[in-house]
Amino acid sequence: MKLGIFGLGYVGVVNTVCFAELGHQVIGCDIKSQKVSSLLSGKSPVWEPLVDDILQKQLASGNIKATSNAAEVVQHAEIILVCVGTPSMSDGTVNLDYTINTTIEIAQILSGTNKDITIAYRSTIPPHSVEGTFRPLFDKYLQNYTGKLKLAFYPEFLREGTAVKDFMEAPRIVIGTKESDISELQTLLSYNQNSPVVITDTHTAEFVKYVDNCFHAIKVAFANEVYSIGKCFNINIELANNIFLMDKHLNISARYLRPGLPFGGSCLPKDLRAMRYFSRLHNIEAPLMNSLTESNEKFQERILQKVLSHQKSKILLVGVTFKNFTDDVRESPMLRLANDIIDNSKVEFAVYDEDINLISLRIENSNIVKYIEIDLQKAIANTELVIVTKRYMPEVLKYVNDKHIVLNFADMKRYDSAAKLDYLY
């Protein structure tokens, strides 16, 4: 394919050489002539292992060209990748000036033509940028155009130092678009049968890059904080970390990385409080650790507001122990929700949960006992709003009708039901 790449910074250069290595004819474009000259001389304007070797090879093959003439690139390309910078302002605002200017320039060049073209943005941009900012720019500046323009977002997940490998052996490739047919871009990106191609809407694709990087930042901050505290106890840090990393079932896995209810139970809150105490004891600043409880509390409040926003006078909570297949209600967010509903609203309230131990509940949480129902079907028949927090969604859906609202707090699945369904996410 014939590709045009706008922006010869880190992302643009890596994409230029890698797509050329895959056999495509690539023209890179940058307003800075020194970057263009450097690339044409066989010297990458950015340092990245393997890039210079591939660059020189593909320059010799004729697969790579470079220019500061945007019109030359647009006229050449079947697909354009926009890789210009999106720097962050001091307040966190993302500066889209370069992407906006590039978009306007491309639109003006395409005006008056019938050229079919796909434009995919690779620069990291806030959700809704493609459809909320860039498409309206094409609507405004693209005049007398009779071709087919397709827009997409194609996030990059390259790590400096291993970018070529990350490109060629991508764990996943994401395409965000509202186009009904994005086959040209999909064909371009189906270069490794072991790299799944996920097609989604643009704003989801735009957001996942932020998810990745924020999680990486959390991991780094977590390790630094927790082992700074451990050092005060003369812990063998290397061994402790190796032991932690050995658990691929919970610690290094997809578990606990799915959005859901707040954390609770007998262990997490207690041990987090202990770790915060250790940090105070040894004068170790641990802002990440200290923020976790507040974050959890804020989410607990959002859940309550979600419930109250429906303004129903009959509410059934299905699931009150802190997780499936345990009778433990210690610091259960569901038990907290039950108490919050009782305290904050004048409603007919009921609780159903097969896992409840009534004897323990009478001893530790006697105020809840009077709300317990043992017949789910009967309890649903007598309520308007059903909140499901555990494994009971399939059973609940058997008994609800179009007069019910079901809040699915148990998972992220979308179910079919006669009832109105609402979700945390």
Active site members: 267
Residues in the chain: 425
- Identity (one letter) of the amino acid at 410? A
Residues in CB range of 277: below 8 A, 6 or more apart: none
Q: Which of 71, 97, 73, 77 has the alpha carbon at shortest distance from 85?
A: 97
- CA-nearest of 373, 300, 308, 302 to 347 is 308
- Dump strand ranges (E) for 41-78: 64-67
Q: Which long-range contacts (CB under 8 A, 24 or more apart) does 263-269 make?
A: 263/296, 263/333, 264/322, 264/330, 264/331, 264/332, 264/333, 264/334, 264/336, 265/322, 265/323, 265/328, 265/330, 265/331, 265/332, 266/322, 266/328, 266/330, 266/331, 269/293, 269/331
* Of 413, 336, 349, 340, residue with least CA distance to 385: 349
The 8 Å CB, 24+ separation contacts for 297-300 are 297/262, 299/262, 300/262, 300/333, 300/336, 300/337, 300/340
Beta-carbon count within 10 A of 261 CB: 21
- The H or E element containing residue 119 is strand 117-121
Q: Are 335 and 365 in contact (CB under 8 A)?
A: yes
CA 87-89-95 angle, to 5 degrees, is 50
**C-alpha span between 199 and 183 (Å, rounded):** 11
Specify whether the CB–CB gap between 410 and 389 falls below 8 A. Answer: yes
Report the run of H or E that residue 176 belongs to, with start and end.
strand 173-176
Residues 144 and 112 sit within 8 Å (Cβ to Cβ) = yes
> How far, CA to CA in Å, does 144 sit from each of 118, 141, 274?
18, 10, 67
- Please enumerate in sequence order all residues whose Cβ is within 8 A of that of 143, keeping only pairs 6 or more positions apart, or say none: 111, 112
Collect all residues with Cβ–Cβ distance below 8 Å to 280 and sequence separation of at least 6: none
